[in-house]
A and B are shown apart, each in its own frame.
Chain A
Amino acid sequence: MSKETTSATFGFFGVVAALLAVLLTLYGQGTGEALRVLFDRSSLLLTGSSNFSGFGGGFSANVIISVLSMAIALVCGFFLGGAMVSPNAMVRSVAVVFMNLLRSSPWLVVLYAMLYLLPFNVSIFGHHIFVSPFLKAVIGLSFPVTAYIAEAFRNGIHAVPDGQWESARALGYRRGQILRLIILPQAFPLMLPNLMTTYAMLFIGTSLVVVTGTSDVLSIGKTVIASDGDDYAAAVYLYILLLFFLFAYPLATWTRALERSLSKGK
């Protein structure tokens, strides 16, 4: 095993052991009982339904929300990032100001604003679409993330040497062609670690959607606490911490490995 793999494995098992140790210290004799409650409620916390019969609530809702938000933010972020490297100074400065506004707004405030700003019903060409809290959470989270992606996009483009632009121009490529055929294929690997960090951040940020009333893992956790008693509150939150960690830590490790291979390739 390489040094990096060892330290990643150490971090992984270390954190799991630390969470278990905290559970043991908190509950002492009652640890078994707490674990049983957690085991019974696992299906509810993971999928939002008992007996794993359904899908789309609990922790799976967090995953789905993060993926959908990321998809929206990727598309919007690439356009915003494109505007930020536009040759037109006006477009560029407007895009930069917009990006900074989005980036410096707290996620919670954006989520609250979306909750009331978006209508409950949208009619497009006569079709009425119900805007669920779930959809609002997805849209609300994609706003700040758009800004991060736009910045990653701009940094990626700036990381490609100017010589590439100049030689492509000398060969008679148009601006759009240069971006699409020459700059982006080189910039994308450079952007990838940044994009993955952004996704990890977004995933961790999905815990905030509890304010929109979506049945995410935290609101289900609150329901479980309400039904099983306050005694198990700490255990339930420990379990949720573990869930988030199990998802986010491999991502972080992978990102670090990517970064290392990038810096080696230079």
Chain B
Amino acid sequence: MLFSLDFEWLADPLYQDWLLEGLGTTLAITGVGTILMLIIGVVGAAIIHFNIPVAKPLTIIMIDLFRNTPPLVQLLFLYFMLSDLGMSYTDATTGERIPLLSGFACVVISLALYNGSIAIEVIRSGINSVPRQTVEGGISLGYSRAQIFRWIELPIALRLTIPNMTSNVVSLIKTSAQAALVAVTDVMFYATQITLETFLNLEVMIVLWLIYLVITTLVVLLAKQLAKALTIPGFGAGAMK
């Protein structure tokens, strides 16, 4: 069976274009999603760390909600809620109602919220593992609490949590495949299109799987390089191996 695989469709320029275009969308989703995820993670961790009155319980509720429900349902809910809220504008030339937030934006937002909730927990655990003495050193040098967070705790926490954050980014990349279910033209979407035209389901899925495998492997390698470049000498080396 292994030898009867037919990969001739890969030579078709149309399918090549489709895959490349889908790949571009997937990379855009994961890139923007990762940046937003990191921002949410840092802001959320800061809110919980500084015990900000109203924002802290809200952040905790957000984490509990997003971590314990399927990202797919979150995405579908967001997709329908935003269209329900009437967040759309009318195109002046054609009179057509265009949603303000496209499917692409919904996917990015839902991925950022879901993986951002995980990122908050990851960064928090990093902050908790910053040695007490380092923080005390900052206090004795006259740093304020905000300064300690910005210049001591956060940089160390972010470095310490690179391995966990990497698996979070990998999870984001894998979860991004569900964008196809709200008709965002990512690589998964085009792959299913190709299977509909060629009926070569297994072959297309193998190629798709390899594409995801290459993306995630590259991200993991990149993170390893980053961890190496950012090593603090004599500090937390064990956690970064």
Interface residue ranges, A against B (CB under 8 Å): 7, 10-12, 14-15, 18-19, 22, 26, 101, 104-110, 112-113, 115-117, 200, 204-208, 210-211, 218, 230-231, 233-234, 237-238, 240-241, 244-245, 248-249, 252
Contacts and interface: CB of A to CB of B under 8 A. Distances in A.
A101 B206 CA distance: 12
A108 B209 CA distance: 10
B213 A101 contact: yes
Contacts, number: 122
B188 A109 contact: yes
13 contacts: A7-B60, A10-B57, A107-B177, A109-B209, A113-B205, A115-B201, A205-B70, A207-B72, A210-B181, A230-B80, A237-B76, A245-B65, A248-B69
B133 interface: no
A169 B130 CA distance: 40
A115 B73 CA distance: 21
A10 B60 CA distance: 9
A26 B192 contact: no
Chain A, interface SS category: helix
Interface of B: 57, 60-61, 64-65, 67-74, 76-77, 80-81, 84-85, 170, 173-175, 177-178, 180-181, 188, 192, 195, 201-202, 205-206, 208-209, 212-213, 216-217
B57 A14 contact: yes
A204 B178 CA distance: 14
B interface secondary structure, majority: helix
A241 B77 contact: yes
A108 B177 contact: yes
A188 B26 CA distance: 39
B187 to A, nearest CB: 10
Nearest to B74: A241
A204 B118 CA distance: 14
Contacts of B61: 11, 14-15, 18
Contacts of B178: 108, 208
Given A218-B73, A237-B73, A11 B64 contact: yes
Contact of A109 (B67, B74, B208): B208
B68 A104 contact: no
A51 to B, nearest CB: 25
